[in-house]
Amino acid sequence: MLHSKTFSKKTRGGKVQKLVREVYLRDDIYCGASFCKVCDTTTATFTSSSSTILILDTNVVLNQIDLLENPAIRDVVVLSVVLQEVKNKNTSIYNRLRSLCSNPARKFFVFSNEFHRDTYVQTMTGESTNDRNDRAIRVAARWYQTHLGDTARILLITNDRENRRKAIEEGISAETIEAYIKSLGQPGLLDLLVQPASEDVVMEVEDLRPSKRKAVYPEHKPMSEITSGLTSGIYHQGKLRVNRYNPFEAYVGSESIGDEIVIYGRGNMNRAFDSDIVAVELLPQDQWHEERSLFMADEEDDEEDIRLVPSSADDAPRTTNSVSSSAGNSNLVLSHPSGHVVGIIKRNWNFYCGSLEPMPMPAGSGGLVHALFVSKDRRIPKIRIQTRQLENLLDKRIIVAVDSWDCQSRYPSGHYVRSIGEIGDRDTETEVVLIENDIDARPFSTQVLACLPPLPWSVSAEDLANPIRMDLRHLRVFSVDPPGCKDIDDALHCTKLPNGNFEVGVHIADVTNFVHPDTPLDAEATQRGTSVYLVERRIDMLPKSLTEDICSLRADVERLAFSVIWEMSPEADIISTRYTKSVIRSCAALSYIEAQARMDDSRLVDPLTKDLRNMNALAKIMRERRLKRGALTLASAEVKFQIDTETHDPLDIGMYQIREANQMVEEFMLAANVSVAEQIHKHFPGFSLLRRHPTPTKDMLEPLVRTAAAVGLNLDVSSSKALADSLDHAVGDDPYFNKLIRIMATRCMSQAVYFCSGDLTPPGFYHYGLAAPIYTHFTSPIRRYADVIVHRLLAASLGIYKLPMVFGDRHQLTSIADNLNYRHRNAQMASRGSVELHTLIYFGKRPTDTEARIIKIRPNGFIVFVPKYGIEGPVYVTQRSERGGGEWFVDEQQQKIKKMDGSVSYGILQKVNLHLEVMEPRPNRPKLQLTLL
């Protein structure tokens, strides 16, 4: 049967098009029940145990997805009309719903009611789309009731009062989601319910009665007014970023004024969360500095006074054109424009990990009680929830989702999602780190694992006979990696040629030989984007059988590789370059320490050691040449833990040591990445995946320049070459001084990012840190999906394979690049969170005295960096009660904080001695406290 369906669609240009689609109606679409006497039951979802089958309306799915993901909810029909509506309204929830439908254990069955002859409904004259879809849901529910008869109870779940009334009138069993959950007799499930906004009453934690509610925040402007204000320039749009160190300060980057707008205090944030897209109105200029403070927030700063506006170390260096400070105006800074949020354009609510604020158990604690949830992420405000299991949750890390934030409520309202584990447990806290950074640590699915070749795997005769693959097993190939590395994705060789030149090869694991486009394995790698390295474990982008065995270039086994091979002169000039798929057999898997020991031991003259020395000599020349071009030698505070093999607790902590062997490997990896970037861009100028490092603006580098000037250094930041030369000359009496300056320079830079070459012109490709006109990532396909894409591009440029379809869509490649940047950033933050967790565990058992350097001055103290442990934090010289006056003042010119009587002063980059100890000034919030000795 054929029907036509008419609808309107808005084009990207803003025009409205009328579209007519033909709908073919069928009568052979089965219901999904194994006990049905009419339909095909060979692939049925519902069994004889399915006594009640639920049919959900769209709003139940959109609002209650956390509840639906609970295993207690099963035997569900998802109508195609509901599936399409959810897809149109929320892609994230749609993907979660599809995941439920693809999990056989959950018994969520998709019924194509829009294509079934007996359940398709046409829109009636004057009927809205919403009313038509509600009617379609009722028609499908009634069809199921008739179709299955007494063999199962069909229950329509809807919170829409009118839809429920009509369903009951039509003889359909219908209930609200809350009524159904109560009927299951599992009180814990009620905590997962999202209360409709109309039922959002004030809870006891606010100590107010509904009748006395007053507006705490201004109403958000309607979207029509926001759109008009953005067009006229009254409002400014941007992403709100809350200061990681101070939740009462946020920044909104505005393209319309070309500057950051600073938002001070919860009141001016007006219910916006970190990463929300907001509309901001500027405050009058004479108010730009009134609320500005450079104080560091401490644990006593609480949200009880929402106008409290402390400040702290910035999340990233920002321009601060300070006025000269004195005792009277030490907190005044004329800097970025200030503003307040007038509306939320796009919410970015996520799942939040934390704990409930300790509170006495109320009388009759077995029933519903209200509590405040405190996120581990200080940027997130407290969230009020209701629960029936308070006693069981007080000592747990839990996940909470936000539902709404009314202007009459001090806190957002949310609901409990699930418990993670006991507070303080290392595994629990590690899972919190992963959840907070959206890291997928789930085991690989059976569909993904089915894409892998069986073990044991070895290079086959077909591989060796393949004309696209060179047999390089005769070469003396070796790898150099961190100790204990199992996922070895790069190896090297260096052979002296008869003409006096060198043949140097970089051999990279041929991951794309096993990870094919449009497979579950490739889709999983695309989504994960990168491997994640925590202190005690690694979360792989690809299954371990690939990363540690089949693809890993281990010693004494034959492996497939993708090789870049140069002929180089003794002066490290590249004479020629070739690219080839290959077969190699590594003769040694060395650690950096082992490789360095070989090069340093003059008694060793074996061929492998000679190769290492030759490569190192070439690498030194290449490095020197790169630095002369303007490449920066930056530094980071990377730390290394020694972990107890049984308890997994940290035994020791220290800065990561870089050796010549590290720099040798790095130099050839950089060279391979540059060569491959040139090759793929030459053949595919419009859709190569490249990596760029934006040149920092003068404003970004200004804090570094001011800090250096305070200690008598004149840094030239006019170019990367000028900055590199200045950093080379920044040598003080302190042997750590130069590294500290380089660490501070690193913090002024924005991160390098992946991008599609078609999105920018070649001048925009520039990698500032490497002083490279073009760059990409090719050398780590085991742990980075960007490299997998680049391998495919390189293979296509050599005529080995055709390019996958994704490369024909530049917008899709740009989307992949954006996801890779997101995943890379999250992986870094997760690694950092793991280090912070283990630092707390380490110092929790070992209070320590140590030396530190001051890196930022604040009116109530300073921020220090502890070189030995790679950590930083605040040190207070005044108490909270002394703010706004007292005996200390800041000399901005000299970058010092001084006592009024001149008896004591602390300056930038000065050494100080500290006591480090873990304290818990607030329940469930341990912190490493730094105290002056």
Q: Would you list the DSSP string of 467-513?
A: TTEEE-TTS-EEEEESTT-----EEEEEEE-TTS-EEEEEEEE-GGG
Homologous superfamily in CATH for domain 25-187: 5'-nuclease (3.40.50.1010)
Indicate the pairing of strand 76-79 with strand 52-56.
Answer: parallel
The pLDDT of 639-653, averaged and rounded, is 66
Amino acid found at 634: L
Between CA 90 and CA 147 the distance in angstroms is 32
What mean pLDDT do residues 125-144 have?
A: 92
- Of the pLDDT bands very low, low, confident and very high (cuts 50, 70, 90), residue 721 is confident
Residue that wins the pLDDT comparison between 286 and 755:
755
Q: Rounded mean pLDDT of 235-262?
A: 86
Among 918, 910, 914, which Cα is nearest to 933's?
Answer: 914
pLDDT tops 70 at residue 133: yes
- The whole-model pTM stands at 0.83
Residue bearing the bigger pLDDT, 158 or 893: 158
The fold adopted by the segment(s) 198-215+350-423 is OB fold (Dihydrolipoamide Acetyltransferase, E2P) (2.40.50)
Give the Cα separation of 58 and 113 in Å (integer).
14
Q: Give the pLDDT of residue 6.
A: 52
pLDDT in tens, 195-243: 765 433 333 444 444 445 688 899 999 999 999 999 999 999 999 999 8
pLDDT top residue among 499 and 21: 499
Listed residue (494, 482, 475) closest to 594, CA to CA: 482
pLDDT over 70 for what percent of the chain? 86
Mean pLDDT across the stretch 549-567? 97
Question: What ranges in 643-686 are assigned the alpha helix state H?
Answer: 660-683
Q: Where are the alpha helices (DSSP H) in 785-888?
A: 785-797, 810-845
Using the predicted structure, report yes or no on whether residue 858 has a pLDDT greater than 90.
Answer: no
Average pLDDT over residues 691-700: 89
More confident site: 848 or 299: 848
Q: DSSP labels for 568-584?
A: E-TT--EEEEEEEEEEE
Burial bucket for residue 95 (CB in 10 Å: 0-12, 13-18, 19+)? exposed
Answer whether 37's CB lies under 8 Å from 152's CB.
Answer: no
Distances (CA, A) of 794 to 471, 589, 808: 19, 26, 16
pLDDT at 322 over 90: no
* Kind plus residue range of the DSSP H or E element containing 799: none
With 50 as the cut, is the pLDDT of residue 328 above it? no
Kindly tell me the burial class for residue 879, based on how many C-beta atoms sit within 10 Å of its own C-beta (0-12, 13-18, 19 or more): exposed
Average pLDDT of span 725-753: 82
Q: What is the mean pLDDT of residues 336-351?
A: 91
Mean pLDDT of 876-897: 68
Across 321-335, 337-351, 713-727, 916-930, which has the greatest mean pLDDT? Answer: 337-351
User: What's residue 200's pLDDT?
Assistant: 38
Rounded Cα distance, 463 and 458, in Å = 10
pLDDT range class, residue 375, cuts 50, 70, 90:
very high
| Averaged pLDDT for residues 148-154 | 89
Over 80: is that where the pLDDT of 639 sits?
no
**Model confidence at 346: pLDDT above 70:** yes
**CATH fold of the domain at 847-932:** OB fold (Dihydrolipoamide Acetyltransferase, E2P) (2.40.50)
Instruction: Identify the pLDDT of residue 549.
Output: 95
Answer for the pair 717, 726: CB distance below 8 angstroms, yes or no.
yes
Give the residue-averaged pLDDT of 905-923: 84
- Summarize the confidence of residues 385-395 as an average pLDDT: 88
DSSP label of 765: G
Full strand arrangement of the beta sheet holding 905-907: 888-891, 896-899, 905-907
Assess contact for 122 and 1: CB atoms under 8 A. Answer: no
10 Å CB burial of residue 827 (0-12, 13-18, 19+) is buried
Q: How far is CA 162 from CA 64, 126, 131, 159, in A?
A: 19, 18, 10, 9
DSSP code at position 435: H
Residue 417 has pLDDT above 70, yes or no: yes
The reported pLDDT for the residue numbered 741 is 83
Instruction: Report the distance separating Cα 609 and Cα 601, nearest Å.
Output: 9
**pLDDT band at residue 798, thresholds of 50, 70 and 90?**
very high
Q: Give the chain's mean pLDDT.
A: 85
More confident residue, 451 or 253: 451
pLDDT at 330: 38
- The 10 Å Cβ neighbour count of residue 810 is 15
Query: What is the rounded CA–CA span in Å between residue 173 and residue 156?
Result: 6
Mean pLDDT across 575-604: 95
Judged against a pLDDT cut of 70, whether residue 12 lies above it is answered with no
Domain 233-346: give its CATH code.
2.40.50.690
Q: What's the pLDDT score for residue 19?
A: 53
Beta bridge mates, 399: 353, 418
pLDDT for res 4: 52
Instruction: Check residue 901 and give its pLDDT.
Output: 79
pLDDT class of 290 with cuts at 50, 70, 90? very low
Mean pLDDT to the nearest integer, 527-556? 94
Q: For 679-690, what is each residue's pLDDT tens digit?
A: 999 999 999 999
Q: What is the pLDDT of residue 198?
A: 44
**Parallel, antiparallel, or unpaired for β 339-346 and 277-282?**
antiparallel
Q: Where in 322-468 does DSSP place strands (E)?
A: 339-346, 351-356, 369-375, 383-387, 396-404, 413-422
Pairing assessment for the beta strands 689-692 and 259-264 based on DSSP bridges: unpaired
CA pair distance 364, 374, nearest whole angstrom = 24
Pair 385, 412: CB distance under 8 Å: no
Q: Report which of residues 524 and 255 the model is more confident about.
A: 524
Q: Which of 614-618, 809-813, 896-900 has the lowest mean pLDDT?
A: 896-900
φ, ψ of residue 581 to 5 degrees: the values are -70, 150
Question: Rounded CA gap, 370 and 361, in Å?
Answer: 11
Neighbours of 224 (CB within 10 A): 8
Predicted local confidence at residue 214, as pLDDT = 80
**pLDDT class of 647 with cuts at 50, 70, 90:** low
Of the chain, the end-to-end C-alpha distance in Å amounts to 86
DSSP, collapsed to helix, strand or coil, labels residue 872 as strand
Residue 292 confidence class, pLDDT cut points 50, 70, 90: very low
Supply the pLDDT for residue 305.
Answer: 28
Per the CB < 8 A criterion, the answer to whether 698 and 706 are in contact is no
Q: Tens digit of pLDDT for each residue in 1-11?
A: 545 555 555 55
At 726, the amino acid letter reads S
